[in-house]
Amino acid sequence: MRHSIAARYTEHTGDMARMKTLTLALAALLAATAAHAQPKSTADGIAEYRKMLEDGNPADLFEAKGEDLWKKKRGPLNASLEKCDLGKGPGVVKGVFVELPRWFEDTKKVQDLETRLVTCMEKLQGFNAAEIAKTPFGRGEQANVTALATWIAAESRGMRFNLPQKHIEERKSYEIGKRVFYFRGGPMDFSCASCHGEADKRIRLQDLPDLTKNPGDGIGFAAWPAYRVSNGQMWSMQLRLNDCYRQQRFPYPGFGSEVTISVATYMGVNAKGAKSIAPAIKR
Ligand code: HEC
């Protein structure tokens, strides 16, 4: 398994060419189904296509990169991340993903996977956390954070979400997140709930999951980070949220801001019991 991932990693260019072909295949598939004007069968078509891709999810490449980054000595302090505490003790990676965001005593903050990784990169490796937060998604150290998050999420694949809600700040985070989720504003007067507040909503071809409760295994919070076929990028949850703020016609929230952590806590707690399939593959 490890070996085959590593081998595929070196065949990156070939994979990208393959992805291009697959993207074109998807476009053709969408065009074909759209021509018959059967929206449900289009969703089925996408599901089928996703199934076909599962064996060759390019997220594997980011997973391999993330594992490598975790173990490599890097940064001004020339250290690895192997002593990073993601909530279950220094160096523990398995199972942490399905319990984040959670409270961290050392930073006195509720943190999600990405912001916690940045904390470790600052403390252990000497990187500047504020600089990383300012870096656009997909660039420099921000791209490394996404790769790390992809590998760490993958280490909890198949496990069920069970965010802790014992600490008062964790419960506060949930309550703030709930308010954020229902907060309406902007030119369209949208909230997250406008699009994700009830079952069976769709925008064009995309089914919109109801995120006010457990939407099911591998849906919503339980699917990200995910590889997006439509733009050939690996998207972390922070970027997913950022893009939904764009859909909402709201200003972009800052990377790792309290708003993004709180709404993640809200969705994560609601997803209790859902099985994680992250890193998933998405349209
Ligand atoms: C105008 C409608 C709209 C609003 C408002 C909106 N979203 Fe979304 N959201 C979408 C669409 C469309 C998708 C699917 C995108 C795709 O497949 O490309 C999506 C996907 C998601 C997903 C991933 C679902 C999955 O199963 O993969 C999450 C999580 C999410 N949104 C959270 C939020 C949150 C939190 C907010 C409020 C900050 C929000 N969204 C506001 C339209 C919206």
Among this protein's residues, is 244 annotated catalytic?
Answer: yes
Query: What is the reported pLDDT for 116?
Result: 98
DSSP string, 163-196: ----SHHHHHHHHHHHHHHH--BTTTTB-HHHHH
* Per-residue pLDDT tens digits for 89-99: 999 999 999 99
**pTM of the predicted structure, to 2 decimals:** 0.84
CB neighbour list of residue 242: distance below 8 Å, 6 or more residues apart: 137, 252, 253, 255, 260
Q: Are 98 and 276 in contact (CB under 8 A)?
A: yes
Percentage of the chain with pLDDT > 90?
64
Q: Indicate if ligand 1 lies below 6 Å from the C-beta of 31.
A: no
Query: What is the reported pLDDT for 48?
Result: 74
From first to last of its 283 residues, the chain has per-residue pLDDT tens of 344 433 433 334 444 444 455 555 555 545 544 444 445 677 777 777 667 666 678 888 999 999 999 999 999 999 999 999 999 999 999 999 999 999 999 999 999 999 999 999 999 999 999 999 999 999 999 999 999 999 999 999 999 999 999 999 999 999 999 999 999 988 889 999 999 998 777 766 667 889 999 998 988 898 999 998 888 899 999 999 999 998 888 988 999 999 999 999 999 999 999 999 999 888 7
The residue nearest atom 27 of ligand 1, judged by CA position, is: 220
Taking the C-alpha atoms of residue 220 and residue 218, their distance in angstroms, rounded to an integer, is 7
For 61-76+97-282, CATH number out of 1.10.3210.10, 1.10.760.10, 2.60.40.10, 1.10.3720.10 equals: 1.10.760.10
Q: What are the residue boundaries of the structural domains of the chain, listed by start?
A: 2-58, 61-76+97-282
Q: Are 94 and 176 in contact (CB under 8 A)?
A: no
Query: What is the reported pLDDT for 279?
Result: 92
Q: Which residues pair with 217 in a beta bridge?
A: none
Q: Give the atom of ligand 1 at the shortest distance from the alpha carbon of 215.
A: 26
Query: What is the reported pLDDT for 14?
Result: 43
Q: Indicate if ligand 1 lies below 6 Å from the C-beta of 196.
A: yes
Query: What is the reported pLDDT for 13?
Result: 40
Q: Indicate if ligand 1 lies below 6 Å from the C-beta of 187.
A: no
Among candidate residues 84, 120, 195, 244, the one labeled active-site is 244
Query: What is the reported pLDDT for 16?
Result: 45
Q: Give the atom of ligand 1 at the shortest distance from the alpha carbon of 180.
A: 38
Taking the C-alpha atoms of residue 181 and residue 173, their distance in angstroms, rounded to an integer, is 12
